[in-house]
Amino acid sequence: MSNMMFMLMMFCAGITVAVQPSVNARLAQKVGIIESACISFAVGTIALYLLLLVSGRGTFRGVSETAWWEWTGGILGAIFVSTTIVVVPRIGTAAAMAAIIAAQLIAGIILDHFGFFGFQGTPVDAKRVVGVLLLLAGAMLIRH
């Protein structure tokens, strides 16, 4: 697949990240915050399990070879989902997404720079710093 196709895939995934907090927050108004997050993860788990069954790729052979911290993604996801459920109704979807995107970009640049998690490092340069600063300024403009 080309890099352009990967960028398009992430663009579409970004749309889902913008819609999900509002859907979950709406559900939380009826069932509660933690309940809404739990339902969100349960439905996602069922959907992924069905995808495994349909694709014929339902094997977990490598699980025993994983490090403890490689299992923390679910906890990180739960923190993200629960936080957005609380925040989106109070500051709005656009402001929440601006803060999320700014934080993701800053964290991504740090992760890339140091090559954390065994991935290839990409040093911080002036263009990346300017991009982060512009995104932070945009996030502030969207919020105020």
Q: Do 59 and 100 reside in the same domain of the chain?
A: no
The answer to whether residues 81 and 43 touch, using CB atoms and an 8 Å cutoff, is: no
Q: Count Cβ atoms below 10 Å from residue 82 Cβ, excluding itself.
A: 19
Q: Is residue 69 part of a domain?
A: yes
53 and 110: one domain? no
Q: pLDDT digit string (tens) for 74-130?
A: 999 999 999 999 999 999 898 888 889 889 989 999 999 999 988 888 999 999 999
Say if residue 20 is in the same domain as residue 84. yes
Whether 103 and 69 share a structural domain? no
User: 113: helix, coil or strand?
Assistant: helix
Could you give the angle at the alpha carbon of 48 between the alpha carbons of 47 and 54, nearest 5°? 90
Residue 94 per-residue DSSP state: H
Tokens of 82: 């629960």
Instruction: State the DSSP code for 121.
Output: P
Same domain, 118 and 77: no
Question: Is the entire prediction scored with pTM above 0.85?
Answer: no
Other residues' Cβ atoms within 10 Å of the Cβ of residue 36: 21
